[in-house]
Structures are given as C-alpha cells and as structure tokens.
Amino acid sequence: FGKAVLGMALELERSLKDKLKMGVVTVPTGIFEKFKVESKIKFIEGARNNMPDEEALAGANEIRDLANSLGKDDLLLVLMSGGGSALLPLPVPPITLKEKQDLIKELSTKGADILELNCVRKQISVLKGGGLAELAYPSTVISLILSDIVGDPLDFIASGPTTPNSDNVNDAIAIIKKYNCYDSLSHSIKTVLEQHKSKPSLKCFPPIRDGKYEHVENFIIGNNHIAAEAARQHAASLGCGD
C-alpha cells in the first residue's frame, strides 16, 4: 500500500518468481491501468486525491483477510510508502469510513500535522498502529519501507501497520480536543475511543521485545537521506564537486 509500491511489487514478483504465491496491493487510482502486465498480485486502485474511499476500503479488507489467513510457516512481505495511510483505511467497527474521513478532514483543515493525524488514525483503525502485524501473527513478517517522514519513525510511516503503537488513546483524544473537534465527534468514534481507554495498556500478544514485534522485521529501503546521497554520488560521477 502506497504511492510507490506498484514498482516495488512488480520487481519483487520478478525476483521471487514461483516462490511468490499471491499478493494484494493497493495503489492510487489511475496508476495500474498504465501497466499491461500479467501478475499473481491483485492490484486495487483507490484513494483518489490521496483521500480514503470505498475502493481503498475494499483493498484494505482484502489485505486484512490475507494477513489473517497466514500460519507460522508463512512469510508475509509488506511493501509500504507515502500515501499508505489513505490506501489502507479500515475503521474499527462501528465507525464508518465517512465518519473517519470527516474527522481527519476537520483536523487537517484546522492545522493538525501528519504526526497528529496519524496518532488519531491509529486509534480508530484496524490495520494501523501495529494492527496488520498482529493479524498476521504467528507468520513471519518482513516490511520494506519507503519513508516519507523526516527521521523515519516506523510507527508513523503509513500510520505504522507493522510496528507497535508508541502513543495511546489519551494522546489521540488530546489532539482531537486541541483542535476543538471532540464535541462534534460521532457516537461511534467516541465509543471506540472510550473502549480503548478501558483496555489494559500493556500487550503481551504478539510478543514484543525492545519495542518491536518478535515476528516482524522492518527495513527502511528508501528515504530523503538515501535519495540525496545517491544524487550526490551520481553528480560526482559526472565530474561535479561536492
């Protein structure tokens, strides 16, 4: 899921050949139709204008079902990049997609930054905030990540679907109140937030050690620093100085 995962997925399939059994990938609307390729991977377009929509929701449901079907002998490869949050929308029931959209739009309009938006998203989403990794347990999970956030905070890139959530529901509520959005929240969102407050804060399943899920390995394979260094090296190869 993400704006850049189409090329990642096709290259991965080319490399793995018959070792790849199946896949589900969500990409922005209008991208996949440009490629006429045969693939084992199911590509689902959605999130027009980088906003969650019914198509992205359908893709997120298929990703959930795939992850939930895996056993301890399976390997799940997760590809994510910027735009992944909009392409992986799966609100916690009974929250509807529109209710979630309305809240995120209102927060964004009032000035909430990407870290604040992702903090809220994780509390009202099934797959974000470690949810995907938890559904995939006990399979082995390897995530290949293109970071679009300075500092590469794993729990905020695409809202951290494969890393434990480092913030909590009180943080999300504080952000919602900061921008004067709490009183206008739908009953569904308030109910889910209150349910999270009543749950124990410490998790022991799946196993977590040193702030990481034991069955997950996350790898940053691209970010601003890597791109800038590659550009510098290429410029140097052409005879340009530092």
Q: Kindly tell me if the per-residue pLDDT of 200 is higher than 80.
A: no
pLDDT at 24: 97
Q: Kindly tell me if the per-residue pLDDT of 35 is higher than 80.
A: no
Bridge partner residues of 205 (DSSP): none
The encoded tokens of residue 124 equal 């009202």
pLDDT at 242: 58
**Most confident among 37-51, 142-156, 212-226 (mean pLDDT):** 212-226
Q: Kindly tell me if the per-residue pLDDT of 208 is higher than 60.
A: yes
Bridge partner residues of 220 (DSSP): 145
Query: How far is it, in rounded angstroms, from Cα 12 to Cα 19?
Result: 10
Bridge partner residues of 14 (DSSP): none
Tell me: the pLDDT tens digits for 90-117? Answer: 999 999 999 999 999 999 999 999 889 8
**Average pLDDT of the chain to the nearest whole number:** 91
Mean per-residue pLDDT, 123-131: 94
pLDDT at 55: 95
The encoded tokens of residue 57 equal 């929701």
Query: How far is it, in rounded angstroms, from Cα 188 to Cα 235?
Result: 54
Backbone phi, then psi, for 218, in 5-degree steps? Answer: -105, 130
Q: Kindly tell me if the per-residue pLDDT of 167 is higher than 90.
A: no
pLDDT at 202: 44
pLDDT at 36: 67
Q: Kindly tell me if the per-residue pLDDT of 179 is higher than 90.
A: yes
Neighbour-count burial of 36, counting CB atoms closer than 10 A to its CB (0-12 exposed, 13-18 middle, 19+ buried): exposed
What are the structural domains of the chain?
Answer: 1-90+127-163+207-241 (3.40.50.10180), 91-124+168-202 (no CATH)
Mean per-residue pLDDT, 44-65: 93
Task: Considering only residues 50 and 183, tell me which one the structure prediction assigns the higher pLDDT.
Answer: 183
Pairing of β 216-222 and β 41-46: unpaired
pLDDT band at 183 (very low <50, low <70, confident <90, very high): very high
Q: Kindly tell me if the per-residue pLDDT of 203 is higher than 80.
A: no
pLDDT at 162: 96
Q: How is residue 92 annotated by DSSP? A: P
Task: Considering only residues 199 and 165, tell me which one the structure prediction assigns the higher pLDDT.
Answer: 165
Q: Largest Cα–Cα distance of the chain, in whole Å?
A: 63
Q: Kindly tell me if the per-residue pLDDT of 140 is higher than 80.
A: yes
